[in-house]
Amino acid sequence: MLAIEDIHVSYGRLRALKGISLTVAKGEIVCLIGPNGAGKSTTLAAIAGGVAASKGHIKLEGQDLAGVRPETIARMGVSLVPEGRHVFGTLSVAENLRVGTYMRADRSAVAADIERVLAMFPRLRERITSPAGRLSGGEQQMLVIARALLTKPRLLLVDEPSLGLAPKIVDQVYEILLAARQQEGLTLLINEQSSHRILKHADRIYVIRNGHIQLEGKAADLADGEAIKRAYFGFGEAASGDANEEEDAA
Ligand SMILES: Nc1ncnc2c1ncn2[C@@H]1O[C@H](COP(=O)(O)OP(=O)(O)OP(=O)(O)O)[C@@H](O)[C@H]1O
Ligand SMILES: [Mg+2]
C-alpha cells in the first residue's frame, strides 16, 4: 500500500531524514521506533505531504506523492494523528467527532459512522457531552483516533499514541487500533519511542535513529528486544551505555 524509497528531508541545513526506505502492506500494523529527534515525525509528515522530500519517492498504491498537496493526500485516504492529542478542549466529545467528518462528501452516512465509531470506543460514548479538555490522556488519545477514523482513512498514521499513558491504557489504545484494522480494513503506521509494549501488537518494526533505518523485522522475530536495543542506541553505545537510559527505552 505504501512504499517509501530512499527519502531525504532537510529543515534548512539540518538533515532530518538521510535516506529512509520502508514499506507498509495493506492491513499491516507497522511501528517506527526510535529515540528523540530520530526522524519519526518527519517521516509521517513527509507521507502526509506536510514536508517535501528533496530526494527519493513516496508511493501510495503505486502513485508517487511528490508535489501532491496535503488535502489531496488526505482525500486519497491518508489520515495523520499528530503527536500531542490535539482536541478542541472546550468542545464536547460529540462536537470533536463531528469535526472529523467535515471534509466528507457522503453526509448521509455520517451519523451511522459516528455510531459505529462510538461502538468501538464505549468510553467516549459515556463521555459524549463532556468537554474534551476534561478527558484523561488516554481518553483524549482515543478521541483523536476516533476523529481520524471518521475521515474514513485507508492508511492511518499515528504519532506516538503511547506517550505519557499508563501501560494498561497503552494496551487499550492498541486493542482499539487492532479492532479498527479488523473492522475498517485499515492499514497502520505508528511512531513510538519505546518498543516495550508495542512488540506484541505490531506486525513489523523499523528502528530509526539519526535519520537512518537501523533495523527492520517482524515483531515476532524481535520479541526478545535485544536487536532493537542495539539498533536504538547504536552498537558501541549499547555496550557502554547508561543502564537507566536503556531501561527507559525498553
Ligand atoms: N520544523 C522543524 N524545523 C527544524 N528542525 C526540525 C523541525 N522538526 C524537526 N526538526 C529536527 O529534525 C530532526 C528529526 O525530528 P523529528 O521530529 O522527525 O524526530 P522524532 O523522531 O519525531 O522525535 P521525537 O521523538 O522527539 O518526536 C530533529 O533533529 C529535529 O530537531
Ligand atoms: Mg516526533
pLDDT tens, residue by residue, 38-76: 999 999 999 999 999 999 999 999 999 999 999 999 999
Is 240's pLDDT higher than 50? no
User: In the predicted model, is pLDDT for residue 241 greater than 50?
Assistant: no
CA–CA gap between residue 164 and residue 162 (Å, rounded): 6
pLDDT at 248: 41
- Is the pLDDT assigned to residue 245 strictly greater than 90? no
pLDDT of res. 237 = 52
Average of per-residue pLDDT values in the chain: 90
Q: How confident is the model over 84-133, as pLDDT tens digits? A: 999 999 999 999 999 878 777 777 788 888 999 999 999 999 999 999 99
Look at residue 212 in the predicted model and tell me its pLDDT.
96
Residues 138-177 as b or e (16 or more Cβ within 10 Å = b): bbbbbbbbbbbbbbbbbbbbbbbbbbebeeebbebbbebb
Q: What is the mean pLDDT of residues 167-171?
A: 91
- Please list, in sequence order, all residues whose beta carbon lies within 8 angstroms of the beta carbon of residue 44, skipping any fewer than 6 positions away: 80, 157, 159, 189, 191
Ligand 2 centre distance from Cα of residue 192 (Å): 8
Query: Which percentage of the chain shows pLDDT scores above 70?
Result: 94
Would you say residue 207 has pLDDT above 80?
A: yes
CA–centroid distance, residue 208 to ligand 2 (Å):
12
40 lines ligand 1 (CB under 6 A): yes
Query: Any idea which of 86-95, 144-153, 196-205, 234-243 has the lowest mean pLDDT?
Result: 234-243
Q: Please, what sign has the CA dihedral across residues 230, 232, 236, 242?
A: negative
- From the list 9, 3, 47, the residue with the least C-alpha distance to 191 is 47
Residue 151 Cα to ligand 2 middle (Å): 23
Confidence of residue 217 (pLDDT cuts 50, 70, 90): very high
pTM of the model: 0.91
Share of the chain above pLDDT 90, in %: 74
Q: 60-65: long-range contacts (C-beta < 8 A, 24 or more apart)?
A: 60/1, 60/2, 60/155, 61/1
pLDDT of residue 5: 98
Residue 197 reports pLDDT greater than 60? yes
Ligand 1 within 6 A of CB of 14: yes
Residue among 41, 81, 83 to mutate when testing ligand 1 (max atoms within 8 A of CB): 41
Atom of ligand 1 minimally distant from the CA of 211: 14
Residues near 237 by beta carbon (within 8 Å), at least 6 away in sequence: none
Nearest ligand, measured from the Cα of 37: 1
Q: In the numeric block, which cell numbers belong to residue 98?
A: 463531528
Pocket test of ligand 1: the residue of 7, 10, 11, 192 to mutate, having most ligand atoms within 8 Å of its CB, is 11
Catalogue all structural domains in the chain, each as residue range(s) with its CATH number: 2-249 (3.40.50.300)
**For ligand 1, is residue 243 a contact (CB within 6 Å)?**
no
Quick check: CB of 34 below 6 Å from ligand 1?
yes
